[in-house]
Every structure is written in C-alpha cells, then in structure tokens.
C-alpha cells in the first residue's frame, strides 16, 4: 500500500466491531492484528496482542454501543496496551460514539459525559479519533486531539435516489435535525434531478425516551416520506412520527438512520409500526434477533477504509464529501 511515511499501517478490532473491522480490512486488502480481548471471572478486561506493533500506525476499531461501559473500557485498555507496546500512533476509530447525547448541561447538576469520555480517550493515549455522525457536532471540540468526522448521509441518500420514489419528501423528526434533513434532501435532489422538499415534526419530550408529536410543518399528504435521524434508540420517536405522518395522509413511510441502537422495545415497535422500511448503517452490529425484514443494513466499511487510508497517507479526509 502506498504511503508517505515510514511506519507500517495495522488494523486492530475490539469485540464490539469485529464484523465491521473485517469488512474494512477487506477493503484495504489487509489482515487484522491477532488480538484477544477476554474478561477475568470478576469481569475485568484482559487484553493480549499476539504480534508486534512497535512503530506502527495502528487504527483501533471499536464502537461504544451496548454494553456501553464494557465496550468503552475495552477501547481505553486497548489504547493503553498499544501505547505501552511502543506504537507509532493510535487512531481510535469509533463508528458509534456512546454517551454523545449527554453533550451539555440541560438542567442543574447534569454531567457532560460526552466531554468526560473525550478526556478518557485522550488520557488513555489516542493520537486521533475517527468517528461518524456525532449526535452533536460540537463534541469534536471536546477533544484536544484531531477528530475526523465522517457523514453517513451519502450512503443513505444513494440508496433512496436509486429507489426513484415519486412525490418524495424528507421529514425531520424534530426542529434540531432540520439542517441535517435539508442537506439530505438536497443530496437526493442532486442525484435524481428533481427538487425534494422537507417537512418538520414539531414534538415535545415530557421525559427521556418519550416523545409526543404536536404538529407537522410542511406538506406530506399523498407523499412518499423519508424520516431521517442520526440514531434510533427505543424507536418511540420514529414510530410515533410514522404514525402521525400516516394520519396526515402520507403514502409510504420510510425511515433511515446512521446508528441503530435499537434498545428495549425498539424491535417490537418497528415491527408493528407504519414504517415500510428502515435503512440503517452498520456502525453498530445488529444481533440476530434484531435482523427483521423491515430493517435493511448498509455498510460503512468503504468510507471508513477510504478515510483510514487518507489519514495514513496524510491526504485530505474532507475530500470524501
């Protein structure tokens, strides 16, 4: 592989992202580092790296999804092990960045956990972070090391452009996602040479993981609609939104997101919802019980492989977008 430095590139996978890491390695025509991550009987994490990484530029691939605390500790311990093995550099490739929703003090005495996690990753010894679709863009500024922020919207917009749906409207699930939804609609518009309008769902959230639709701003009657969000957790928001869109006269309701957290009652809710199809990216690996017919998974392996190669060769990552 061509490079502009004297270090060798190596890829290593944490337990949370084995499948995605293998796909990234295939894209780069590489093998993953022989590494074992196990736990002692009391739950402590034990790491064994079975080959030399001295002087190498290592890309450590590990999402911090559920079980969040285990996967986060595994990431930190792997970084520490690599630094103590005298690597040239460690890039923490975190396709899904956990604790991102706690990005500010929403009320008195709240923690800002997204910043705390950034501090932990930096203190562990990471030289750079590569991630995708942070829940809040300002989290990039929580790090004192470089952060490359990839966008999953292009993969999703390519999929819907290929579907060539008539009377298409992109729907933002809340006011905070309007900018993301408008950009997504513009991406589809440029690919199908037809303007795709947006609509906005006005909702309130009386308590965490609970949302109520108040109104819909924009025209959805007789339209095929795409609900876009960065993540779907318990699926209450997206399912309620789909139901409201149907009541307002929408034809088929599609949904898409980058991060399929899908915790608690999410799968049952999606299965019984008005959503025709849910398109997700594989930043989080779905367990078998979550692989239902309504859910279609697209891979981010190619875009992460391209970004990793550009970081390694000191090329521009922003050119990917």
Q: Kindly list the catalytic residues.
A: 203
The sheet carrying 89-94 orders its strands as 9-13, 57-61, 89-94, 128-132, 147-150
DSSP reduced 3-state for 223? coil
253-260 and 275-281 beta bridge pairing: parallel
Using alpha carbons, select from 244, 258, 273, 276 the residue that is nearest to residue 165. 276
Q: What burial letters (b/e) apply to 237-255, b meaning 16+ CB within 10 Å?
A: bbbbbbebbbebebbbbbb
Contact (Cβ atoms closer than 8 angstroms) between residue 281 and residue 299: yes
Nearest-angstrom CA–CA distance, 57 and 54 = 9
Q: At what angle do helices 113-124 and 68-84 cross, to 10 degrees?
A: 20
Distances (CA, A) of 104 to 68, 109, 125, 204, 210: 19, 11, 25, 19, 19
DSSP 32: B
Token digits for 110?
């709240």
Contact (Cβ atoms closer than 8 angstroms) between residue 102 and residue 113: yes
Instruction: For the chain, report the end-to-end CA distance as a whole number of angstroms.
Output: 23
Nearest-angstrom CA–CA distance, 228 and 193 = 20
Using alpha carbons, select from 179, 174, 176 the residue that is nearest to residue 151. 179
As to burial, measured by CB atoms within 10 angstroms (0-12 exposed, 13-18 middle, 19+ buried), residue 38 is exposed
């Amino acid at each position: 592989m061509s490079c502009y430095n004297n270090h060798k590139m190596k890829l290593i996978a944490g337990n949370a992202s084995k499948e995605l890491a293998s796909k990234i390695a295939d894209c780069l025509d590489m093998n993953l580092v022989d590494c074992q991550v196990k736990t002692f009987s009391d739950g402590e994490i034990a790491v064994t790296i079975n080959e030399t990484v001295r002087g190498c530029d290592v890309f450590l691939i590990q999402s911090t999804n559920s079980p969040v605390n285990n996967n986060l500790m595994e990431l930190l311990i792997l970084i520490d092990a690599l630094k103590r093995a005298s690597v040239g550099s460690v890039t923490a490739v975190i396709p899904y960045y956990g604790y991102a929703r706690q990005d500010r003090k929403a009320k008195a005495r709240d923690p800002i956990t997204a910043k705390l996690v950034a501090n932990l990753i930096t203190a562990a010894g990471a030289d750079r972070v590569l991630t995708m679709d942070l829940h809040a863009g300002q989290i990039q500024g929580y790090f004192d090391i470089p952060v490359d922020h990839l966008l999953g919207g292009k993969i999703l917009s390519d999929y819907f452009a290929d579907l060539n749906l008539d009377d298409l409207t992109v729907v933002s699930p809340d006011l905070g996602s309007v900018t993301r939804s408008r950009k997504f609609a513009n991406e589809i518009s440029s690919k199908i040479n037809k303007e795709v309008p947006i609509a906005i769902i006005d909702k309130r959230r009386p308590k965490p993981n609970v949302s109520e639709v108040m109104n819909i701003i924009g025209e959805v009657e007789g339209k095929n609609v795409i609900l876009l969000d960065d993540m779907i957790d318990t699926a209450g928001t997206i399912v309620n939104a789909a139901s409201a869109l149907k009541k307002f006269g929408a034809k088929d309701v599609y949904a898409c997101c980058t991060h399929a957290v899908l915790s608690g009652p999410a799968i049952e809710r999606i299965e019984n919802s008005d959503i025709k199809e849910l398109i997700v990216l594989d930043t989080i690996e779905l367990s078998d019980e979550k692989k239902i017919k309504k859910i279609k998974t697209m891979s981010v392996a190619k875009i992460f492989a391209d970004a990793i190669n550009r970081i390694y060769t000191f090329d521009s990552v922003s050119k990917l977008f």
